[in-house]
Structure 1
């Protein structure tokens, strides 16, 4: 009922975003084109489509072309302006997702943040003149920068063509904004998603895409739990554990744990996306017994707090994840190669 009441405001919001996009489409608003291959990863929906795992995947794939960087606004940080990630940075200084990428790829990959990416990219190139590629994280609505390849992600559990603009829905702009995409990746798919259902989703996507735009399907591959520090006396596979998350849409993770860790998964402490954990939150944890499992993104925020508190790190684990294409991965990689061939 509330969603229907808010629908007129969704139309108003959608109209505002349409006008903004019109200014960029007609080149009335200025657009910056980076001088090196640039890949943009983003979505139409607010939060939770798996952008960071996809950026991680792309960074692994493009490093063979030369030094690469990733640039995002650094959502949730307490600093402003352009900044390069260093070993001294925290989630407060660069944001949780950039810090996660830096911990996984640095120093092989340059990780930078900056709200105004059209201004940040020249500064990034001045600081790292050897760069051969930039991956823009969460940049689908950042129209001042024109990337060579624009990837639109949509969560299988919350497909954008079944949603509405804010505040009556979770879309950042109207559905036809998908026409800017060079490819669509449906993320967080079940491992055994039938070809018939894939084809049905393609048919439902088609009205919102350019005719030549390919649609890919990818799921999440979960790794083995990794202990925060020290040698674990128990693991989540053999000891009851509590899941602790601060992500936008934890349902796929919860479903996975209920299936693969059915005997030991005890409860789920669910915090908002990009939640800034504080010492008071640690006091709420049951420190008497059991283990705790969290995500990689939450790990980079929790680990410093736990170390400061003197907690037993061997009782805290995080679960690594990777993107896993259900099919046609070679075709996707060929598409990813296109900006580098064009600029060679």
Structure 2
């Protein structure tokens, strides 16, 4: 917490009042929650970002798409369009948002990707499509209570768990910690791979302070892939200039520092729209460290914006490599997740 956070406490109290009233209206039925006609999984968090929603959505896609027709639905944060859209071959990040575009690029041949700020209306339209999806994954919809999912997954990071965070503007929570009671499953993301049983038990106890009784708590970590070039003419170098636009880039910085030689970090806010000035800064930084022959490494999400916004010739001039990430569970936790999906979403008793 920032040293001056106590000055923001009155504003956090006001924010808490507004969000509590909203949730109370939903609990009383004064605001209506509509169940999806399609079996659904809601993935979300209590904070303003950085919990790893997109990698978790991708994990669920990989887990389910070989057996079921899968679709994703999000509001398409940062897009320059409105209304209900389905991703297609001619779609751009400006039309659907960078994260849905990333998902479409990776899985568009195997699943359907939709965006719509009115998710109740969007779900109705999707249900009327011929060969409608058999599973829909709702990205960042935990607090979008107008839609009621079959399985509500709450993500929280190991580094900044919701139970030790505070409401905006003191902290990063979008609603009170008590919102965890709506979760059917809580996943602690970005955990160290060697997280021990005593540490997990302690975390589960702290989570249980706010969740409903017997809510399962699972633990996931991040697996990084090999850096791949945006332009195949470039060779990789272990000297890295890291370019990120994430809500929390600290785990990425730690990984790059531990596995490569980190020359410099160029850090931007989450969902940053890269501009001409940003690309000029990349050029300048590359020139500054030219004697070390570095390459630029960025995330899949940032690569979407870089490719879309880069000036002509930039991608052929600057060696940019993309570092993919995937979610990993222990075999026991992955089995528990699969069983819970079967029970809550498909109404099956076992796998």
Same fold (TM over 0.5): yes
- Residue equivalent to 1:312: 316
Question: In structure 2, the residue corresponding to 1:80 is in which secondary structure?
Answer: coil
Q: Which residue of 2 aligns with 1:244?
A: 243
Name the counterpart of 2:168. 166
1:236, CA displacement in angstroms? Answer: 3.3
1:282 to 264, 269, 279: 279
1:273 aligns with 2:278: no
Write the distance in 2 (CA, Å) between the matches of 1:340 and 1:174. Answer: 27
153-162 vs 306-315, which moves further? 306-315
Distance 1:82 1:160, change over 3 A: same
Partners of 2:130 and 2:57 in 1: how far apart?
19
1:172-207 CA distance string (max 9 Å, x none): 100001000000000011111111111101111111
C-alpha spacing 1:313/1:38, structure 2 compared with 1 (3 Å): farther
1:56 aligns with 2:58: yes
Match of 1:217 in 2: 219
The number of residue pairs the alignment matches comes to 339
Aligned pairs (5 A) from 1:60-71: 60-71=62-73
Distance 1:64 1:311 in 2: 35
Displacement of 1:305 in angstroms is: 3.4
What is the CA distance between 1:109 and its match in structure 2? 1.0
2-structure distance, mates of 1:2, 1:244: 29
Report 1:247-262 matches (<5 A): 247-261=246-260
Equivalent positions of 1:174-213 (< 5 A) are 174-213=176-215
Q: Distance in 2 between matches of 1:112 and 1:91?
A: 13
Who is 2:17 aligned against? 15
In 1, Cα distance between the equivalents of 2:90 and 2:28? Answer: 43
Match of 1:294 in 2: 298
Per the alignment, residue 101 of structure 1 pairs with 103
1:147 deviation in Å?
0.2
Query: Which of residues 330, 337, 341 in structure 1 aligns to 2:342?
Result: 337
- Gaps in structure 1 of 5+ consecutive residues: none
* In structure 1, distance between residues paired with 2:101 and 2:328: 22
Give 1:279 shift.
Answer: 2.6
- Alignment partners' CA distance in 1, 2:14 and 2:155: 24
Question: Residues 319-334 of structure 1: matches in 2 within 5 Å?
Answer: 319-326=323-330, 327-334=332-339
Displacement of 1:116 after TM fit?
1.2
Question: Over aligned residues, Cα RMSD in angstroms?
Answer: 1.7
Q: Mind listing any 5+ residue stretches in structure 2 that lack a counterpart?
A: none
Match of 2:112 among 87, 92, 110: 110
> Is contact 1:14–1:174 with CA below 8 Å preserved after alignment?
yes
Q: How far apart are 1:88 and its partner, in Å?
A: 1.6
Q: How far apart, in 2, do the equivalents of 1:156 and 1:313 lie?
A: 38
Change beyond 3 A, Cα 1:225–1:307: farther
Q: Structure 1 pair 87/279, CA: closer, same or farther in 2 (3 Å)?
A: farther
- The answer as to whether partners of 1:307 and 1:313 remain within 8 angstroms in 2 is no
CA contact (8 A) 1:236 1:293 kept: no
Superposed CA deviations along residues 204-248 of structure 1, whole A, max 9, x for unmatched, are 11111111210011110001001112233x3133xx220001111
Give me the whole-angstrom Cα distance separating, in 2, the residues matched to 1:276 and 1:300.
10
Aligned-residue offset at 1:340? 4.3
The alpha-carbon distance between structure 1 residues 18 and 294, as it changes in their structure 2 partners (threshold 3 A), is same
1:38 equivalent in alignment to 2:51: no
Question: TM-score normalised to the size of structure 2?
Answer: 0.92
Alignment of 1:80-159 (within 5 A): 80-159=82-161
Hey, what's the Cα distance between the residues in 2 that align with 1:10 and 1:307? 42
Structure-1-length-normalised TM-score: 0.94
Q: Distance in 2 between matches of 1:229 and 1:203?
A: 48
